[in-house]
C-alpha cells in the first residue's frame, strides 16, 4: 500500500474532479482516489504495483495534466 499526492492542472469544474476520480479508480490496484477541484490535489491509495505512469495515464485519459506526484 502506498499513498500518493497528485497535483493536477486543467480542472475548473466539479465534474472534472469526479471524472479524474472515476478514471483513477479504474486502475486495478487503486483502492481509493479523491480529487479536490479547490486545491487541484488528488490523493490516491494504491497497491505498490501501481506505477506513476499508470496514474499519469489515467489522469490524461480523463483529459487533464498531471504536474506532480509525491
- DSSP one-letter code for 10: S
Told to check if 25 binds another protein by CB under 8 A, we report no
Residue from the set 7, 54, 56, 57 that interacts with another protein by CB under 8 A: 7
DSSP E strands: which ranges in 1-70? 2-9, 30-36, 41-46, 65-69
Least spacing, CB of residue 66 vs another protein, in Å? 12
Told to check if 23 binds another protein by CB under 8 A, we report yes
Please calculate the CA angle 20-5-51 and round it to the nearest 5 degrees: 75
Least spacing, CB of residue 39 vs another protein, in Å? 5
Told to check if 63 binds another protein by CB under 8 A, we report yes
35: nearest Cα among 70, 61, 59? 59
Told to check if 41 binds another protein by CB under 8 A, we report yes
Amino acid at each position: 500500500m502506498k499513498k500518493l499526492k497528485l497535483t493536477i492542472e486543467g480542472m475548473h469544474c466539479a465534474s472534472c474532479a469526479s471524472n479524474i476520480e472515476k478514471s483513477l479508480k479504474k486502475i486495478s490496484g487503486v483502492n481509493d482516489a479523491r480529487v479536490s477541484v479547490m486545491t487541484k490535489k488528488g490523493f490516491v491509495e494504491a497497491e505498490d504495483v501501481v506505477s506513476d505512469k499508470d496514474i499519469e495515464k489515467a489522469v490524461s485519459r480523463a483529459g487533464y495534466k498531471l504536474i506532480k506526484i509525491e
